[in-house]
Amino acid sequence: MLKMLNRTPGPDRAVQVIQMTERSSLLSHRRFVFVLLPEFTLLSFAGALDALRLANRQLGTEAYRWTLIGPGGDTATCSAGSTFKLHGDLEELQHDDVVVLCAGTNISRYSSPKLIAWIRREVRRGVTIVGLCTAAYTLAKAGLLDDRRATIHWENHDGFLEAFPDVDMTKSVYVMDGKIITTAGGTASMDLMLALIARDHGPEIANAVADQQIYTSIRTDRDSQRLSVPTRIGVRHPKLAAVIQKMEQNIEEPIRPAALATEVGLSTRQLERLFRRYMNRSPKRYYMELRLGRARNLLMQTDMNVINVALACGFTSPSHFSKCYRAQYGSTPYRERGTRGAEDDEA
Half-sphere exposure of 44 (CA within 13 A, CB side): 33
Domain that holds residue 106: 11-212
Q: How many CB atoms sit inside 10 A of residue 199's CB?
A: 11
Say what the pLDDT of residue 28 is: 56
Report the CATH number that the domain containing residue 286 is assigned in CATH: 1.10.10.60
Q: How many CB atoms sit inside 10 A of residue 241's CB?
A: 19
Q: How far apart are CA 75 and CA 215, in angstroms?
A: 30
Report the CATH number that the domain containing residue 94 is assigned in CATH: 3.40.50.880
Q: How many CB atoms sit inside 10 A of residue 346's CB?
A: 8
Q: Which of 154, 186, 212 is the last residue of a domain?
A: 212
Give the global pTM.
0.74
Q: Is 300 helix (H, G, I), strand (E, B) or coil?
A: helix
pLDDT digits (tens, 9 = 90+) for 22-46: 444 445 589 999 999 999 999 999 9
Q: How far apart are CA 19 and CA 227, in angstroms?
A: 38
Q: Which of 166, 185, 212 is the last residue of a domain?
A: 212
Say what the pLDDT of residue 4 is: 42
Tell whether 236 and 130 lie within a shared domain. no
Q: What is the DSSP letter of 88?
A: B
Tell whether 26 and 166 lie within a shared domain. yes
| Residue at 221 is within a domain | no
Say what the pLDDT of residue 339 is: 57
- Regions of the chain where pLDDT drops below 50: 1-11, 13-15, 17-26, 340, 342-347
Nearest residue to 137 (alpha-carbon basis) of 171, 98, 110: 110
| Residue at 223 is within a domain | no
Say what the pLDDT of residue 221 is: 84
User: What burial letters (b/e) apply to 139-167, b meaning 16+ CB within 10 Å?
Assistant: bbbbebbeebbbbbbeebbbbbebbbeeb
Within 8 A by CB and 6+ apart from 271, the residues are: 243, 257, 260, 261, 264, 283
Say what the pLDDT of residue 335 is: 87
Q: How many CB atoms sit inside 10 A of residue 52's CB?
A: 22
Tell whether 186 and 38 lie within a shared domain. yes
